[in-house]
Structure 1
Amino acid sequence: MNTITPGQRGILDAEYPNWKNSELSAVEFMKKLELKKNTLTKTGTTRFVISDNPETIGTPTDPKWSVQFSGGFATLWHDYLNDRNSVNYRVFVWHLNTTGKTLKYGITIGNGSNSTSTPGTIQVSNLKHSIVTTGYFIPHGICTAKSLLGNTLDDATPANPSITAGNVGLVKEWTVPNGQLIGGVVEFTLKNVTSPTAPMTFRLRSCVSDTATADLRLNQTPVIAVRETHPRGSWNFADIQSTINFETGALNSYKFYSFANGTNDNLMKQSGSYDSENSYGDNKGLYGVKNKINITFKNTSTASRIIKVFLTSRVKPFGGACQWNNNPTVGVPKLEMTSSTQDAVQVVSFTLAAGATATYPLTTSTAGSLSGPGVVAIQTLAP
């Protein structure tokens, strides 16, 4: 279904190259398309880490994706905290092995607590994940988005549930055959079980070894250099939310809302990441993030109206998952765009009484290998 008007389509075709070449800002681009812009805010206290650079782990001589192993190890990204007694983590992982051999990937925690002045044993608990090795990138990305929104990540047992002061523990590890992607989301909790108030001091590493038999706990290497343009970073929040206010319009008309445009929703910026000098890019695609929109519907007419809500891409294809109100989470296939058509999915259809107002949440998550949703289209129809 084409949810953008012919006039908007013409503007999109004409102005997209200017936006792509940075000759036109995202805000100006939205104004030309007559898309209403909402304001997003950070939510929750879960700490978020994205490890997506280098997206491809190549051989040391690969001209584009070379990865240099040191002592058989490479640290793809890291995080460091020294001010919390407990912390919930969500880590989004997306790395393709093209080294020609089987690797081992894992997440480790180095407990930097001192055994005398700042004692602390770190407990690892509540481990759940969607991480697998696969050659089916988009289907797995959609499955990960669905399991994240639907709270159906697989439960798992930490490799090292307890990490004493001065030691490195393993949260979980996977072997990664050549030509396979290691990707998905993993969540877990870290807590200082020695003291109910003392902060932990630790370093998290997203790391890989160049053999399938290495002990990742021996890795102490610094973060490797970035490759290409995929993001990596760490932030003190994992989810975002916003509001949309909709009033019914003429029958059969649409109203369009730009809620993910790389500008107002770009909250995970490189500049705000831990170790921003070595992080890379902004997580504009919101990979691994729950993006919640609270939509308030108001029927300003004197008769009941059918309201239909559609979700579609903005410039690049969206795919992933969405959840309307408390309904089951559903997967969203890759929504393509051409010069004359635009794919969309209908999220819901409901009747709103004359003069009535109702508020419902719509939550989305982006699949790895695709882009985030850009537009909510809301249509007014006669009952």
Structure 2
Amino acid sequence: MKRNKFRWLTLLLITQFVIASFLPVYAEENVENKPIQIYVNDVQIELSTEPISKNGTILIPLRSLLESLNMNVQWNSEEQKINIYKNNLEVELKINSSTALVNGEEVKLSHPPILEKSIVYIPLRFISEVVGGTASWDGVNKVINIYIPVEEKPQQTSIVKNGKTIYTNEEVVVKDDVVFIPVNKLSEIIGIKANVSQDLKSVSIVKDGDSLVLEAGSNLAVINQVTVETDFKPFVHNNKLFVPSQFVGDLFGFTVTWNDETRQLFFYSRASMFDLEIIKKYPAVTNIPQLVPEENVMPIEGRRLLVSDNPETLDNLSFPNYEAVLWSDRVQSDEDKIDYRTYAYHVNKTGNTIKLGINITNYSDTNEIEIVDLRGSGKESSDGWSIIDVGVKIAELSISDKLPAIDLNNTVVGKGESITLDYFFANHEHLISFLHEFSVEKKSGTGPLDYELRIVACKDKSSDLSRIHGPLLKANDVHPRGTWNYSEIYAELPVYKVGDKDYSYSISNGFTDHWFSAENSFEQDKGTRDNKGHFGVKYRVKIPIENKDEKPRKLLIRLNPRGGLYAGAVRTPGGDYIITPMNAFYEVSNMMEYTVEEDKDELEFVIMHAGGGHLPVSINILTIYTLEDVIKK
């Protein structure tokens, strides 16, 4: 930094000397009374007003010059301060101050910036030479010539994610083997939330509880609130903030490589598939299950469930407009708080990347509402194996209560206001699914809750989703859609008697435990559909046990799909586990072993089915006998 400071001081001394040499010519030509022309790289720029001369220094209208140099400017009227940004350069000027800050270093000016008739004037030579160019004055023709080195132009490249090309002709800049990419494009590729400041000076990135803050022109990065020094500096080009793809990708679970010959940028997800232990599956055949008794099944009220899975495929027929509501919950209630679980599952076949998310509008004119304890996650799949990398992963996060917390900049929704709770991007031919839990509470005021919660989508990736209030897409198939006053279901199976060889009962069978029907949903007139597979639902199972063997017995509890490929996650007394994908009928998962100590006992567990799976699933119990037991029998 000392070297940079010395360079700038030397540059300013030379600048002031050159300006002084121009003064006689400037005076002789009486420039103040004649129009001055300014050229940047031989292209004349239009001025909002004429340049002026103060104490022998040429001052030019700030906005005219900066726009010609593609620089970003921020004006603080209270502090009379000007901040200027371009790539790795940051300049701070103050009205009537002869001291400037250049990348944090103080530099003396030959003349301070001034404010005249609401127009800010800045020293011509200081600004032109700070950005690495030169300026010259032609006193005879009254022309100022500014030459700025041409920046390295972005290269056109293809983006490949997990072996599949998802973008072509995208802009990247390669500097010293570091591939810089616009941060908004990077957020679409690796599924991060990138909040770029309005002046493009900084970006805050979050994903699944991890955070990163980068600033243009700075080699410091803040990772999970810890500041580290890096070998790169983000920069702004064409009103886009470019960040290092390898560094950001590595932090959020991707290996990023660049092929200089083919001009391709490759992203490979290396995130571990699951955090929970996976239950092994085995080839086996179970007996035909009975249906869980209808009188033993009931919903558990307390948290609403909003499901958006219809139309599941979003193409230009089902999604013909620029934007749409996929499903919504219109609420008018005397309650002060309503808890939610929202679940969305859609495939993008529009031909372009789309943006999906959750928004809410407060229609009350007497109270404010607040979003409390917002947690959630979204997963995207491009390889057709969605039951694994989308369905099971979301079920795992939900069953283990590890949905990441989401920090909203503003949690309060005022009268008549709308906000976005969360959003995601889905590339063409990609599946996107997201699940959230939160509460809507009355923050202040009087009167009933009066709001609408929506799952929305837009074909413009930069769109503000909070403003989308319609239209509602029509349901076009049998996939689930609706809002129910509960998100959990409870079933007590018949008593299992130790030694019974024929104990099997199917759950989520669409008949005896069909509480999530279209008829039970709110707003049936909007096109609700059955949720027979209980997607987004936690299914609690209780099994009473009788043991007349007068000694402890070990039981094996198994799961067997009865409708097609099935997977999910389960919480048992021994821990939380992943139910690996199984084919129907001839594969089983040994969910757990359980020892019955008394003559009567109870076993409870909770299952969440993976999106993309096929129901029903059978619960089968066997008694495990030792060799000694078999010999005795």
TM-score, L = length of structure 2: 0.51
Contact conserved, 1:50 with 1:93, CA < 8 A, in 2? yes
**Distance between the aligned counterparts of 2:291 and 2:412, measured in 1?**
51
- Does 2:403 align with 1:153? yes
Superposition CA RMSD, Å: 1.9
Contact conserved, 1:238 with 1:289, CA < 8 A, in 2? yes
- Does 2:618 align with 1:375? yes
- Does 2:304 align with 1:56? no
Bigger strand share: 2
State the structure with bigger RCO (CA 8 A, min sep 6), 1 or 2.
1
Pairing partner for 1:357 from 590, 593, 600: 600
**Unaligned 5+ residue runs, structure 1?**
9-32, 61-65
Match of 1:268 in 2: 516
Ranges of 4+ aligned residues in structure 1 off by more than 4 Å:
33-36
**Distance between the aligned counterparts of 1:342 and 1:42, measured in 2?**
31
Change in Cα spacing, 1:34 to 1:121, as seen in structure 2 (3 Å) is closer
Contact conserved, 1:254 with 1:380, CA < 8 A, in 2? no
- Does 2:431 align with 1:181? yes
- Does 2:455 align with 1:206? yes
Match of 2:353 in 1: 102
* CA deviation after TM superposition for structure 1 residue 159, in Å: 5.3
Match of 2:544 in 1: 296
* CA deviation after TM superposition for structure 1 residue 184, in Å: 2.4
Contact conserved, 1:85 with 1:198, CA < 8 A, in 2? no
* CA deviation after TM superposition for structure 1 residue 290, in Å: 0.4
DSSP-derived class of the 1:266 partner: coil
Pairing partner for 1:134 from 374, 381, 405: 381
Q: How does 1:325-340 map to 2 (within 5 A)?
A: 325=573, 327-337=574-584
Match of 2:590 in 1: 346
* CA deviation after TM superposition for structure 1 residue 77, in Å: 0.6
Pairing partner for 2:534 from 286, 294, 304: 286
* CA deviation after TM superposition for structure 1 residue 127, in Å: 1.0
C-alpha distance after superposition, 1:222-270 (max 9, x if no partner): 311112221110011110111123333547x241122331112110111
DSSP-derived class of the 1:44 partner: strand
Match of 1:125 in 2: 372
Change in Cα spacing, 1:36 to 1:182, as seen in structure 2 (3 Å) is closer
DSSP-derived class of the 2:542 partner: strand
* CA deviation after TM superposition for structure 1 residue 306, in Å: 2.1
**Unaligned 5+ residue runs, structure 2?**
1-282, 627-633
DSSP-derived class of the 1:146 partner: helix
Larger Rg computed on CA atoms: 2
* CA deviation after TM superposition for structure 1 residue 371, in Å: 2.2
More deviation in 89-98 or 216-225?
216-225
**Distance between the aligned counterparts of 1:2 and 1:279, measured in 2?**
41
Contact conserved, 2:478 with 2:530, CA < 8 A, in 1? no
Pairing partner for 1:171 from 421, 425, 428: 421
**Distance between the aligned counterparts of 2:412 and 2:449, measured in 1?**
13
Match of 2:163 in 1: none
Match of 2:319 in 1: 67
DSSP-derived class of the 2:460 partner: coil
What amino acid sits opposite 1:125 in the alignment? V
**Distance between the aligned counterparts of 2:290 and 2:523, measured in 1?**
38
What amino acid sits opposite 2:599 in the alignment? A
DSSP-derived class of the 1:271 partner: coil
Match of 1:227 in 2: 476
Pairing partner for 2:442 from 192, 215, 238: 192
C-alpha distance after superposition, 1:285-324 (max 9, x if no partner): 1111100011111112244422111111122232111111
Aligned length: 339
Identical columns (%): 23
Change in Cα spacing, 1:249 to 1:85, as seen in structure 2 (3 Å) is closer
**Distance between the aligned counterparts of 1:357 and 1:267, measured in 2?**
30
Change in Cα spacing, 1:34 to 1:172, as seen in structure 2 (3 Å) is closer
* CA deviation after TM superposition for structure 1 residue 100, in Å: 1.0
Contact conserved, 2:563 with 2:616, CA < 8 A, in 1? no
Change in Cα spacing, 1:34 to 1:194, as seen in structure 2 (3 Å) is closer
Contact conserved, 1:273 with 1:279, CA < 8 A, in 2? no
- Does 2:286 align with 1:4? yes
Contact conserved, 2:340 with 2:438, CA < 8 A, in 1? yes
* CA deviation after TM superposition for structure 1 residue 46, in Å: 0.6
Contact conserved, 2:290 with 2:506, CA < 8 A, in 1? no
Match of 2:302 in 1: 45
**Distance between the aligned counterparts of 2:285 and 2:498, measured in 1?**
15
